[in-house]
């Protein structure tokens, strides 16, 4: 159960979505509609490239406006689903205009004045302010959804992750590139990558964020390590991660080794995860049926399975898990809307 926060302050807010035409923005519109979010109005904002477009909300066509300095007059809640630079420039303007901002970029995630929130995990950090609330990195959200219940019950010592990340994390152009390059490959046509650096069809590659030449970690890995520590409230937690982009459209999978304070039987792990909100155990050894992107797609829940001892840890304290979650839903839009729901006056 989520605790009842004391900061509920919005009633039928006027809502704006920045980046409404993108992969996450489109899902934000859908989540607001499907969850019956009590918006009094919805304003769609994107770049000048989208001027003249319309998108549907509650059966009505809405125009897409070009984001500008004065876009936030009269807006109570601004959901940002654009890039970091846009968030850094426009979120302060939205706040100055009186809006609460929930930002999906990495701009504010490590800013200690901005809570970094997964409602099922650390709702207590959502102290009310008319400021910016950060929506975590998709891989950090999906990881924490599976790990936080174990941390709470058994204590957490260390995390080791390997990710299998979908195209959607790199936005709508990368999803289009996966489809177009696959079609070209199947038809024997050449395809020059545009959104990503490497061939995407029938291939996988180290995550496309810039790599730090000193440490050898890429930007995604650095975000996942820092954000996971912050969300789990454990600044010294040892976390190792390798992030890989795979040819899947919109759901991430992650192989996780979780070192707990003491050895715990897999059955107790399964029981703990089965009780966790927003988590669904998919762990059928007989049928060899475990979490898959194809089954996570379109789902709000994070799927968790392959629950077993990690035999690579001689102490016996580590459990191995395999998880999958929809990057655009729980990894982005759904989590943002769940945060927004926590701000509503009951």
How far apart (Å, rounded) are the C-alpha atoms in residues 106 and 321? Answer: 26
Contacts to ligand A2P from residues 146-185, by CB under 6 A: 171-173
Contacts to ligand A2P from residues 5-24, by CB under 6 A: 19-23
Q: How far is the CB of 103 from ligand A2P (least distance, A)?
A: 12
Number of Cβ within 10 Å of residue 205's Cβ equals 14
Active-site residue, 138 included: yes
What mask, x for binding ligand A2P by CB under 6 A, covers residues 28 to 57? ------------------xx-xx-------
Nearest of 225, 198, 43 to residue 137 by alpha carbon = 225
Of the pair 157, 330, the CB lying nearest ligand A2P is at: 330
Of the pair 169, 293, the CB lying nearest ligand A2P is at: 169
CA-atom Rg of the chain in angstroms: 20
Active-site residue, 272 included: no
Q: How far is the CB of 49 from ligand A2P (least distance, A)?
A: 4
Taking CB under 6 A as the criterion, the residue among 8, 9, 83, 242 binding ligand A2P is 83
Q: How far is the CB of 80 from ligand A2P (least distance, A)?
A: 9
Of the pair 79, 303, the CB lying nearest ligand A2P is at: 79
Asked if 209 is part of the footprint of ligand A2P (rule: CB under 6 A), the reply reads no
Q: In a 3-state reduction of DSSP, which class is residue 32?
A: helix
Q: CA separation (Å) from 204 to 13, 198, 221, 257? A: 42, 9, 16, 22
Q: CA separation (Å) from 301 to 135, 138, 294, 335? A: 17, 13, 13, 11
Nearest of 34, 6, 23, 73 to residue 337 by alpha carbon = 34
* Chain-centre distance for alpha carbon 313: 29
Catalytic residues: 138, 252
Which spans of this chain sit near ligand A2P (rule: CB under 6 A)?
19-23, 25, 46-47, 49-50, 67, 82-83, 86, 171-173
């Amino acid at each position: 159960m989520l605790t009842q926060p004391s900061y509920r302050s919005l009633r039928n807010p006027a809502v704006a979505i920045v980046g409404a035409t993108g992969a996450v923005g489109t899902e934000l519109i859908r989540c607001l509609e499907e969850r019956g979010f009590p918006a009094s109005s919805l304003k769609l904002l994107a770049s000048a490239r989208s001027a003249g477009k319309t998108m549907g909300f509650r059966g009505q066509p809405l125009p897409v406006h070009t984001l500008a300095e004065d876009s936030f007059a009269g807006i109570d809640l601004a959901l940002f689903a654009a890039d970091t630079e846009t968030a850094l420039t426009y979120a302060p303007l939205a706040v100055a205009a009186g809006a609460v901002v929930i930002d999906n970029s990495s701009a504010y995630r490590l800013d200690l004045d901005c809570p970094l929130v997964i409602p099922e995990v650390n709702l207590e950090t959502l102290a009310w302010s008319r400021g910016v609330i950060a929506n975590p990195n998709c891989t950090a959200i999906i990881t924490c959804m599976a790990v936080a219940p174990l941390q709470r019950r058994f204590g957490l010592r260390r995390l080791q992750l390997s990710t299998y990340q979908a195209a959607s994390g790199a936005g709508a152009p990368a999803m289009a590139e996966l489809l177009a390059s696959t079609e070209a490959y199947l038809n024997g046509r050449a395809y020059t990558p545009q959104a990503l650096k490497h061939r995407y069809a029938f291939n996988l590659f180290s995550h496309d964020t810039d790599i730090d030449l000193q440490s050898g970690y890429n930007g995604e890995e650095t975000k996942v390590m820092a954000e996971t520590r912050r969300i789990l409230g454990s600044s010294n937690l040892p976390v190792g991660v390798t992030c890989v982009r795979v040819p899947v459209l919109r759901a991430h999978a992650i192989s996780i080794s979780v070192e707990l304070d003491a050895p715990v039987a897999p059955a107790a792990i399964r029981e703990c995860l089965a009780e966790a909100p927003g988590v669904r155990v998919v762990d059928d050894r007989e049928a060899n049926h475990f979490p898959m992107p194809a089954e996570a797609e379109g789902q709000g829940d994070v799927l968790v399975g392959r629950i077993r001892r990690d035999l690579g840890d001689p102490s016996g304290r580590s459990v191995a898990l395999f998880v999958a979650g929809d990057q655009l839903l729980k990894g982005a839009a759904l989590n943002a809307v769940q945060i927004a729901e926590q701000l509503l006056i009951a």
